[in-house]
Every structure is written in C-alpha cells, then in structure tokens.
Structure 1
C-alpha cells in the first residue's frame, strides 16, 4: 500500500511538473532552434476587412468601441463592421447605429449566444479577412495593421493578437507567462488558440460553430490548423482590458472557459487523435493536461498522507500549508497584493479549483446556464 502511494505521489508530481514547467521549457528550447516566422506584408494592397462584434446589452459602450475600431489605420473603403445585437434589451442596436455607412447593425431575437451571433455575422461579411472583437476592450493604435501583416504568407490562416489586462497584479504575471508560451507555440507552428478579443482569419476558412459553443477562440483556430494552415501570434496587435471586478466573477469566468474545453473535446473528438491532429502534442500538453493537473494535485495530497516515511509527512505538511496560504491570497486579494508572488499562489489555486470543477460542471443537467455567456 505504502509503495503504491509513493509511486502515485511521484507520478502525480511529474504530471504537474511537466504541465507547468517541463512543457513550457521544452517549447522554449525547441522554438530557439526551430522557430519560423511568416512572410510579413508592408506595402501590399490592404485586404478588405470585416470586423465582427457580437454584443449583448452593450448600449453604454458600443458606440465608443466602434469609433475605436474605425480609427484604426486601414483604408476606409476596405474596412467594414458588422454588429450583431444578440437578444439585447437595452437598445444596443440603436446605440450601434453611429451614422457611419461602414457599420451594419443586425438585431438577433431571441438571444442565441455568441456562437450563433458570430455565425450570422460571418455569413454576411464581404471582407477577405474576418477580424473578431469584443465590446468591452479597446485596440491600441496599429493593432489592425499588425493583425493583417502576417496574411501575406499564404500558409497563415489565422492570427491572434495579444490581450493586455490592466491593473491585474500577479494574475497579470500568470497571463504574461501564458502569452509567452503561446508565442513560442506560434513560432513552432503549434499555436491552436487565440485571444477572443483580438484575432483574425481568412473568411474562406471560417467554419460555423454549433450553437452554444463556448470557446469560439479555440473552435475557429483549431479548424484552421486542421485545414492545414498555420495560426500566428502578432504581439503588436494589442487589445486592452481590465481585470475582473471580484474574485467570484473571475472564478466563474475561468470555470466556464475550462468547462468549455471538455465541450470542445466532445464536439471535436479529432483532437484526441495524434494521427489526425497536427498539433496533438501542444493541445495535449497545454490544454488537456491543465484539466488533469488538479486531479493530480489531489492525488499527490492523498498519496503523501498515506505513504510511509518522514519525507511524505513533510510533503503533506508543505502542501497543506501552501494551500492554506493560497486560499488566504484568493480570499483576500488586496492584502495579498502587498506580498510578492502571493497573488500568484492565489491565482494558481483559483485556476485549479475551477479546473477540478470543470468536468462535473460540463456534465450537469443545468450546463446550459454555464454555456451561455450572455
């Protein structure tokens, strides 16, 4: 019994270590030796671009968001925007009618969800390139140009920008680490996820999403990869956002996103096939193992409690102490922000708690509430 628990402890620890340290280091090492960069356009004729926005009850900020997009550096006659007001009850469609002929507003009733709204917008688009944006962020100057430059390379099917979270503290540290990993994956041709707030793709590669799809920012780029094209990351294409207002709001957002990975696997089972998924190693290591890690952490905790020996007693005490400190940091983020790395511990616990609950949440009878973002 004790020997089996010791083996379980080390196996679980290895899973956690590979997911959070081993895989990022492997990708960084490979990218330093095998990285490739797409051909970038500088002087070619600007493509026709249609920006798609699915909005629900965004009357307060939709007009300023549209002005922000239309102010981007791009020929006015080659830029258009389609706003789908998805079941809004606050006059979003009226607020989006800013009197610019480049903006087309469609009202969808009843609320169909983001996937349905984006499918509708894409079916109406005329641009060669579809750009996806959300209502609450804003683009820094030059973002649209940076998103479009990699499409000069015919192998590039989609391009992700970078989401910058202002005032996020050590959660920003986690997000910066995540973006560095994505960029290394992009340099290897392994990138398979984008920032939903700022990304673009060739219109002919758009594949309609099943209603209720949570992770449009995974469904779309994965289908680009499965078609044989590459997803690039343009780090100069920046969308600015603010951190979640409360820890509870952030936890629910993470729970929804992580549960969406289980939904995505059910809808794209090819992901689990290493012979058909060209980015299987990256998907398995980066996405799937993140869902497995909390179970590995739980197994390590139980195994260290049941294994014999002073080392495992110390390991158990260290884990319990670590989780207690992380729980305090999660519950009291403002005081924790004064201590270096403590917020990161709280973020780690929050993310893995959400991942632990993501599978049962995705299987519950009331999962439809989880799938609906608005």
Structure 2
C-alpha cells in the first residue's frame, strides 16, 4: 500500500503541475524577473522589414475570398508586403478564385503532395526579410502583421507566434466551448512563456519567422508549424508571443471533428518529442528545456498516463478503508461522470457548458492515447485533412 500511495501522489502531482502548476510557477517567475529587469515592450522599427504573407490553401472555396479580402486590407506599408497563395492539389474553385486577384502571386499544381510540399515550393520564391504564415480559414485583425514584426527589432528574436482565437458562441456545443476555453488558457501560458524566455512552438494559424531561419521540414512531419518554430528556438533564437496579432476561426463542427484534430496533434507531439530529443537536456538548453518539458512534453506523455495511474491506485487505496482516499475517489468519479454527462448532453444537443469542460479535458487526454497508438503504427498521415468547422 505504501508503494501505491507513492505512485498515487507522484501521479497526482504530475497532473497538477502539467495543467495548473506550471502556469502558477510561470506567473511567479515572471514577476520575479520584472523586479530585476522590468517589462519591456517592442518598439516600431525606423523602417519596416519586407514581408511575404504566405497562405497554403487546400479546397477552401468557401473561405478563400474572405481570406483574400482580409489579407489585402491589413495595415502594413504597401511597398513592403507581398502576398503568396499556393493551392496545390485543390480540386474545387479555390485556384480559380485566387487567380482573380492580380495583387496575389499564385502557385498551383493539380497533384496533391501535402501542405509541407506546397509550402516548400512557395518558400523558394520568397525574397523578403520575413514570412508570415497563416491559414486560409482564419481572419486576422488589421494590425496583426505590424504587431508581430516589431518584435524583430530585437536580433535575438527568430519567430513570433500570433494568438489563436476560437469564436465561441453561447449556443456552442462541447467542442466549441471546450476549444475556446483551452485556447484562452493556452494564450495566457504562451504570453508568460515568451516573457520568461521563449514560446515553445507556434500554432499554424498565425506565426512569423525570419526568412533566413526557414529550413525544410521532413515531409512526414505531422505538426510542421510546431516543429519549425521549435527548431528556431533550438538554434538559440527566441520565439515571442504577440496577443495583438489575432487569428480568428470558428470552432470544430462537433466533438468528433475536434477529436480527429486532437489525435493528429497528439501523434505529431510524440513524433516531435522523438525528433527533438536533444531539447530534453536542460544542461544544454536551460530554460528552453524547462519550458518545453513543462508545457509540452508532459502533456503528450506522462500526464495522460498519470490520470490512469491516479484512478487505479486511488481505487486500491480506497478499498483499504481510508475515508480520505474514498473521498478523493468520489471526486474523481464525479469528474468522469461530469465528462460522460457532457458527452450525452452534446449528443442530444443540450447546452450546459458546466459539463463541457470536463468532457473536453477527458477527450484531450484520450486523444493522446489514440495519437500514441497511431504514431507507433505509422497510421497518422502527415497530409492534413482539416477538421470541419461550424457554419458562421
């Protein structure tokens, strides 16, 4: 029983630290840092760098025209920005729509080789100082590019992550409510990560890099945006976070679509841990290793496993008659019952958001098990099948 109790408390600590404790520790560390260094804000450069806005679009005929109008009206000096859209493999009207706009440099091939191949082909034509990557189904705020690119006045900055915002409505199902809450929390952690040292991986909806730091990513990479920006951090550059650069998108159409997306990300996370294993060495990478393990690695490995260990060991300890462990077990069972109720309510189209957060948390951790299985069997394709989004 002593061994079970030790396993229980270690696992419980891992869960707490992975999802809440790291955030609390970050909050404390950056306040200590401000005492000694203060808080600095990036300043506008004397001359704005040249930039290419790069969009890789696959069968986005419903959203691509809105994306184009949004891109062309962003606030940035007209003589310093270029627009490059690549629509390789699209079989709908996406290439035709993009071709109507002479301001946009358009690349298209009928064969589909995946997003990575399309981006690499486009990057061969980029001759600007910076590149901003953004998805075709997201809308940027007018000052997104200027807010991101001012960070590059610091030569130590190699990339800047924008803020992903999920447009969550009151009537949204579990997928929308849970996804919206998750990204608000992630945005807070990324802001604190950047202030302490660096963001550990950007989301593909919106991020910018120095063009000279771009490197080809292995074609079978599942989450290429995360891998690319973390490689930049591995080279010694900082990845900053800009909450004033927002990429808005609608939530997944339902939990099935969101689960599909989460499993893909989890499989890509395991793949990244294997390929970036040198980053696990804190003696070489210091703060980067600490942030990488705390914010990413634990969530994609030990934390989901710890949830299962906590449940099983708690059951065994409760059977010994300890009221304390029985109370903890009752709390766990109540949490999983709430998650199950969230699933039932969504399937019946009932909107009680109090149960959607436990359901989303459970789904997120289940996705890690499913993603790990796919990674081991090589069954997760790197060719992205985008999740269906709710109608506007």
* Same fold at TM > 0.5: yes
Change (3 A) 1:195 1:37: farther
* Alignment partner of 1:178 is 2:177: no
Task: Deviation per CA, 1:39-68: give whole Å up to 9, x if none.
Answer: 623252121111111111112322321221
The alpha-carbon deviation at position 335 of structure 1 amounts to 6.3
Match for residue 203 of structure 2 among 195, 199, 209: 195
2:390 aligns with none
Structure-2 separation of matches of 1:322 and 1:62: 41
Residue aligning to 1:123: 124
Q: Which moved more, 1:35-44 or 1:78-87?
A: 35-44
Query: Partner of 1:108: helix, strand, or coil?
Result: coil
Matched, 1:281 2:298: no
Give the Cα separation in 2 of the matches to 1:312 and 1:152.
55
Distance 1:299 1:226, change over 3 A: same
Map of 2:384 onto structure 1: 373
CA distance in 2, matches of 1:228, 1:105: 34
**8 Å CA contact 1:166, 1:242 repeated in 2:** yes
1:80 Cα shift?
1.0
Match of 2:28 in 1: 29
1:231 equivalent in structure 2: 239
Kept in 2: contact 1:129–1:202 (CA 8 A)? yes
Partner of 2:157: 156
Alpha-carbon separation, structure 2, partners of 1:28 and 1:284: 17
Alignment-derived partner of residue 338 in structure 1: 352
Once the two structures are superposed, residues 162-195 of structure 1 have per-residue CA deviations (whole angstroms, 9 ceiling, x without a partner) of: 1111114353222211110110000011312112
Contiguous gaps of at least 5 residues in structure 2: 169-175, 386-392
Conserved in 2, the CA contact under 8 Å of 1:114 and 1:373? Answer: yes
Q: Hey, what does 2:133 align to over in structure 1? A: 132
* Structure 1 position 49 matched with structure 2 position 63: no
Deviations 1:309-342 (A, max 9, x none): 3233333332222112112213423866435x42
User: Counterpart of 2:285 in 1: which secondary structure?
Assistant: coil
Q: Is the CA contact (8 Å cut-off) linking 2:198 and 2:240 kept in structure 1?
A: no
* TM-score, reference length from structure 2: 0.89
Q: Tell me the equivalent position of 1:309.
A: 321
Instruction: Say whether the 8 Å CA contact 2:134–2:206 is kept in structure 1.
Output: yes
- Partner of residue 81 from structure 1, selected from 80, 83, 87: 83
CA distance in 1, matches of 2:137, 2:80: 24
Partner of residue 66 from structure 1, selected from 65, 68, 71: 68
SS of equivalent residue, structure 1 residue 86: coil
Distance 1:85 1:43 in 2: 33
Contact 2:53 2:82 in 1 (8 A): yes
Partner of 2:256: 248
* Superposed structure 1 runs of 4+ greater than 6 Å apart: none
Aligned to 1:158, the other structure's residue is in SS state strand
Q: TM-score, normalised by structure 1?
A: 0.93
Unmatched tracts of structure 1, length 5 or more: none
Residues 331 and 128 (structure 1), Cα distance of their counterparts in 2 relative to 1, 3 Å cut: farther
Q: Greater shift after overlay, 178-187 or 163-172?
A: 163-172
Is residue 271 of structure 2 the alignment partner of residue 259 of structure 1?
no
**More off after superposition, 71-80 vs 316-325:** 316-325
Q: What secondary structure does 1:104 align onto?
A: strand
Aligned residues of 1:169 and 1:337 also touching (Cα < 8 A):
no
Whether the 8 Å CA contact 2:165–2:247 is kept in 1: the answer is yes
How far did 1:345 drift?
Answer: 1.2
Confirm or deny: 8 A CA contact 1:116 1:212 kept in the other structure.
no
Separation (CA, whole Å) in 1 of partners of 2:22 and 2:217: 30
The 1:246/1:365 distance shift into structure 2, 3 A limit, reads: same
**Residue in structure 1 matched with residue 173 of structure 2 by the alignment:** none
Report the Cα distance in structure 2 between the residues aligned to 1:301 and 1:131, rounded to whole angstroms.
44
Between the two proteins, the alignment pairs up a number of residues equal to 369
1:275/1:120 CA distance change after superposition, 3 Å: farther
What is the alpha-carbon root mean square deviation over aligned residues?
1.9
Q: 2 CA distance for matches of 1:74 and 1:141?
A: 9
* Corresponding residue of 1:298: 308
Do the aligned partners of residues 37 and 159 (structure 1) sit closer, same or farther apart at CA in structure 2, a change above 3 Å counting?
Answer: farther
